[in-house]
Structure 1
Amino acid sequence: MSDTAAASSSGGGKSTIQLTPMEVPKASDVLAGELRERILTGEFAEGAALPPERELVVQTQMSRTTVREALRILEVQGLIRIKTGRSGGAFVQRPGEESIASSVSLLIRGRQIRLSSLLETREAIEPYCARLAAMNRTADDLAVLEAANEAIADEDGTLPAFLQANVDWHVAVATASHNELLTGFMAALSRAIYAATENERFVDAEVRRVAVRAHRSITEAIRAQDPKAAVRRMTRHVHGYADAVLQVEERTEITVSEE
């Protein structure tokens, strides 16, 4: 068969193979991913300086704009810190509890998570934080808890001061658990709950008195290294607070709708 005939029999040589559009990653994302992996695996030690920008351009054969964008990505992710000046540059830092707290806070605010969901989550998690705190607490942990208790009990303290001390106490319980994931998560959760309840509708004199008693009772269980008592008292505390807050919120919604 001639070449012409063969081409004709195969449909004129036109291929029937179909390809779908492909997404090619940005060069800055590729470079950021490479540096991120080396930081997270420990190849680049914490505090180590990355090569200067101009050297990264030479080594990677990428543009200065690409290198700068990759470094900005890592800075936003908390994996490097940028220092300016003669001794400046990009320095490696390992993510910590605050990185977790920042990510969870963005999720809460970005998704506009309801207050009731925040309270439900705390009821599910914080009693176990108290259990771990009773098992793992140190003398330093107890000192932080007591300092927060003193601030919470200050009858002359402002509402913002009371709320901040409250956040400090709840984060201190999570910190005493010595579980970094729980600490970061509870930091974001506590801040979000108290940001949503920072007015007299939710926090009056009686709520403050109840908080003082509950926090001291839970602290004593943690001090005594009694995990069962810590769980029981924390469960009662967060459940009671959630009920009180949601009742106020419901009454407020009813009043607004009637108006």
Structure 2
Amino acid sequence: MDRAVEGPRVGVGHTPVHHQAVAEAVAATLRRRILNGELGDGDVLPKQDDLLAEFQVGRTTLRQAMWILETEGLVTVRRGKVGGAVVHAPRPQDAAHMFGMVMQARRVPLEDLSLALRSLEPVCVGLCARRPDRDRTVVPELQSVHDEMIRHLDDGAAYIRATRGFHEAIVRNCGNQTMQILLSAVEELWSRQERLWMTEGLRETGRTTRLAGALEHAQLIELIAAGDDVGAYHLAVRHLEGAHAFPLSAHGSRPVEAGD
């Protein structure tokens, strides 16, 4: 029998509701500790007996609380001799999966996701160009990813992966955390669509098209290095419109998929 003491019982016939409410309260406390950084990524939650003693609940209620956190992706409960709950800090990939499920349920077409990405990523490009430390932070990483693109001009799949890395580096280095989190999720969701196309055998762009895209990336790096945020923004708009034209021509009306 649970030993919960938080709040009055709702009545004999409603004990499961009471247990669920207490479980949610326990989960909320542990969630706050994870989100506030008291429990870091990879940490292990205290032993079950310690949690039972702290929250004054029974094992069933504690299991319900762990299940809530596990479904949110905040912990992984290990069974057996190495049991315990391992903490996972939230990641943009987690937000991308949630976005994807909502969009898939609403049958949002790919062209809608594309428009959001084409509207927001150029803002990140402009922010990269405004960073006073761009020569030490932004430009070296972009140049490294660009070099990877050049090495894979003859391999369509590898080139696409390197291209995604370039766009992700733009977002990651824009200097605005809200844009980083939001656009990282959108970038990840777009990348999931690309992986789906490749598994379905979508015809690849030719080497000439890939080289043109790489040259535009090189121009973006030059504009960012020069601190030309307006020029970099407008080039990014044109570049993304061209880059998205090919997949949209084949899949523009296709609903976004959350992926695995």
**Alignment TM-score > 0.5, same fold:** yes
User: Which residue in the other structure is 1:215 paired with?
Assistant: 217
User: Which residue in the other structure is 2:170 paired with?
Assistant: 173
The amino acid of 1:120's aligned partner reads L
How far apart are residue 205 of structure 1 and its match? 2.7
Residue 114 of structure 2 corresponds to residue 119 of structure 1: yes
d(CA) in 2 for partners of 1:73, 1:176 = 33
User: Which residue in the other structure is 1:46 paired with?
Assistant: 40
Moved more, 64-73 or 120-129: 64-73
Moved more, 78-87 or 129-138: 78-87
d(CA) in 1 for partners of 2:139, 2:78 = 36
Match of 1:160 among 157, 161, 167: 157
Residue 104 of structure 2 corresponds to residue 104 of structure 1: no
Residue by residue, what CA displacement relative to the aligned partner does 1:125-183 show, whole Å, maximum 9, x if unpaired? 11111111212346243333222212222356432211211111110110111333244
CA spacing shift, 1:71–1:127, aligned 2, 3 Å: same
Given that 1:145 and 1:169 are in contact with CA atoms closer than 8 Å, whether structure 2 keeps it comes out as yes
SS in 2 for 1:51: coil
User: Which residue in the other structure is 1:142 paired with?
Assistant: 139
- CA RMSD after TM alignment: 3.3
Residue 62 of structure 2 corresponds to residue 67 of structure 1: yes
CA spacing shift, 1:231–1:189, aligned 2, 3 Å: farther
User: Which residue in the other structure is 1:195 paired with?
Assistant: 195
Moved more, 101-110 or 85-94: 85-94
User: Which residue in the other structure is 1:205 paired with?
Assistant: 207
1:3-82 paired onto structure 2 within 5 Å: 24=17, 26=20, 27-41=22-36, 44-46=38-40, 49-80=44-75
Given that 1:82 and 1:91 are in contact with CA atoms closer than 8 Å, whether structure 2 keeps it comes out as yes
Given that 1:46 and 1:94 are in contact with CA atoms closer than 8 Å, whether structure 2 keeps it comes out as yes
Given that 1:50 and 1:92 are in contact with CA atoms closer than 8 Å, whether structure 2 keeps it comes out as yes
d(CA) in 2 for partners of 1:174, 1:161 = 20
SS in 2 for 1:222: helix
Which has the higher Rg, Structure 1 or Structure 2?
Answer: 1
How far apart are residue 232 of structure 1 and its match? 0.6
How far apart are residue 197 of structure 1 and its match? 4.3
The amino acid of 2:136's aligned partner reads A
Given that 1:32 and 1:71 are in contact with CA atoms closer than 8 Å, whether structure 2 keeps it comes out as yes
CA spacing shift, 1:85–1:100, aligned 2, 3 Å: same
d(CA) in 1 for partners of 2:74, 2:87 = 6
The amino acid of 1:189's aligned partner reads L
TM-score by length of 2: 0.72
Given that 1:167 and 1:194 are in contact with CA atoms closer than 8 Å, whether structure 2 keeps it comes out as no
CA spacing shift, 1:122–1:196, aligned 2, 3 Å: farther
SS in 2 for 1:139: coil
How far apart are residue 34 of structure 1 and its match? 2.5
Given that 1:28 and 1:70 are in contact with CA atoms closer than 8 Å, whether structure 2 keeps it comes out as yes
How far apart are residue 196 of structure 1 and its match? 4.9
Runs of 4+ in 1 over 6 A off after TM superposition: 83-88
Given that 2:223 and 2:229 are in contact with CA atoms closer than 8 Å, whether structure 1 keeps it comes out as yes
Moved more, 211-220 or 78-87: 78-87
TM-score by length of 1: 0.72
Percent sequence identity is 25
SS in 1 for 2:151: coil
Q: How many residues are paired up?
A: 230
Given that 1:171 and 1:186 are in contact with CA atoms closer than 8 Å, whether structure 2 keeps it comes out as no
Moved more, 159-168 or 98-107: 98-107
Unaligned runs of at least 5 residues, structure 2: 1-13, 255-260
d(CA) in 2 for partners of 1:240, 1:176 = 23
d(CA) in 1 for partners of 2:129, 2:105 = 34
